[in-house]
Amino acid sequence: MKDMPMMTCGHQANSMGKRAGETEQRPACVICSCFDVDPNPPDLNERKARCTFYGKRTRRNECSVCSKGDGTCKCERPSTDNLAFFQHHPDKEFDEFYCGCWSWN
């Protein structure tokens, strides 16, 4: 979702929701059940992200990189919060995202 903030869980907000007992919807991460926006979003310049399935066999389904070659995911992109299911990992060499190698459904 374009223009959604980074959350304290490291994911870009991927939904709008509300905690139990609240009435106002706000950015949320449905993966981690996180409602806390990161007040100091990370600087993603000079960082790279790899698909969750990087180095693993895939179905070579809906990814232009994985659909070619030996069926092993090799998707690596510059880190940006516009990547699907992006998650920043400040303690690791690479951030994480999903390229579509196992389909979108």
Give residue-wise pLDDT tens across range 10-46: 999 999 999 889 999 999 999 999 999 999 989 999 9
DSSP label at residue 87: B
Number of domains the chain is built from: 2
Q: For residues 40 and 84, what is the distance between their CA atoms, to the nearest angstrom? A: 21
Q: For residues 25 and 17, what is the distance between their CA atoms, to the nearest angstrom? A: 5
- Structural domain including 24 reads 1-41
Mean pLDDT of 48-60: 89
DSSP label at residue 13: P
Are residue 9 and residue 53 in the same domain, yes or no? no
Are residue 18 and residue 69 in the same domain, yes or no? no
Are residue 36 and residue 52 in the same domain, yes or no? no
Judged against a pLDDT cut of 70, whether residue 2 lies above it is answered with no
Are residue 101 and residue 63 in the same domain, yes or no? yes
Are residue 49 and residue 95 in the same domain, yes or no? yes
Verdict on whether the full-model pTM lies above 0.75: yes
Are residue 103 and residue 56 in the same domain, yes or no? yes
Does residue 61 or residue 30 have the better pLDDT? Answer: 30
Are residue 71 and residue 103 in the same domain, yes or no? yes
Are residue 102 and residue 57 in the same domain, yes or no? yes
Residues of the chain with pLDDT > 70, as a percent, come to 95
Are residue 31 and residue 53 in the same domain, yes or no? no
Mean pLDDT of the residues in the chain: 89
Are residue 14 and residue 31 in the same domain, yes or no? yes
pLDDT of residue 103: 83
Mention every residue, 6+ apart, whose C-beta is less than 8 A from residue 86: 11, 12, 49, 79, 80, 95, 96, 97
